[in-house]
Amino acid sequence: MTKVLNSNFLAGSEKSHEPRLVGDILSEMFSSDSPLARGYRHHQTVYPNTEPCIDLKLLTRQPGRLPVGDYIDGAITRDDEDHFLFIENATDKKRNEALQRNPHVYEGVYININRKPDGTLYPTFNRPRFDERFTCRDFCHGAAEELLQVVNGSVIGLGEEK
C-alpha cells in the first residue's frame, strides 16, 4: 500500500472495508464529536513549559546523578523564582520491602491456607461470584474437596508436620 500524499483524500474505502492509513482513522475518530473523542481531547491537554536557567535540586534515595532515561516517582515544587526542588517518593520502596503479615502457603480456587507468625496454618475461604450455574452448594462442595486435598497431604509445600 502506498502512502497518500494528498491530505484531503481518504485512503481506502469505508464502504468496502479496504485498508486505510492508521493516522487517517485516528484523526477522523478524534476530530469527531463523540463522547470518547471529547473525553480524549479534554484529558490529553498538555501545556509544555520550558524553564530556562533554573536551579534544580534532586533529593533522591540513591547517591549520584540520575541515569539518562531513568524515571523516578516523586514531587517537584517551585520554592523560589528560579529554584525548583524534587523529592523522590519513598513509599514504593517501603511497600516492596514490607513482608506480608500472614502469607499464603496454598492458593486454591475455593480456599487459601495462610501461615501465622508462630507457624500454625489456618484456612480462609475465597469469595465466589454466585449465579444460576454456580450456587452456594457448588462452592461448598469445591471447598470441601480442596480442604480434603490439604488434609490428605496431596497439596505439597505446606510444611506442617503431623
For residue 156, which of 97, 121, 106, 111 has the smallest C-alpha distance?
A: 106
What was the pLDDT predicted at 95? 52
Alpha-carbon gap, residue 123 to 155, rounded angstroms: 13
pLDDT number for residue 154:
65
**What integer pLDDT is reported at residue 155 of this predicted model?**
60
Model confidence band, residue 142 (pLDDT cutoffs 50, 70, 90): very high
Domains of the chain: which residue ranges?
Answer: 10-46, 55-95, 104-152
CA 113 remoteness from chain centre: 26
Which residues does residue 113 pair with via DSSP β-bridges, in sequence order? 106, 123
Kindly indicate the confidence band of residue 61, based on its pLDDT and cuts at 50, 70 and 90.
confident
Position 162 scores a pLDDT of 45
β-sheet bridge partners, residue 87: 59, 75
Measured from the Cβ of residue 35, the count of other Cβ atoms closer than 10 Å reads 8
CA neighbor of 89 nearest in space, from 69, 61, 49, 123: 61
| Mean pLDDT, residues 88-108 taken together | 71
Mapped onto helix, strand or coil, the DSSP state of residue 121 is strand
Give the separation between CA 111 and CA 45, rounded to whole angstroms.
47
Residue where the block lists cell 452448594: 137
**Average of per-residue pLDDT values in the chain:** 79
For the ranges 11-15, 16-20, 110-114, 152-156, the maximum mean pLDDT occurs at 110-114
More confident residue, 87 or 7: 87
Give the pLDDT of residue 23: 81
Backbone angles phi, psi at 106, to 5 degrees: -145, 130
pTM assigned to the model: 0.38
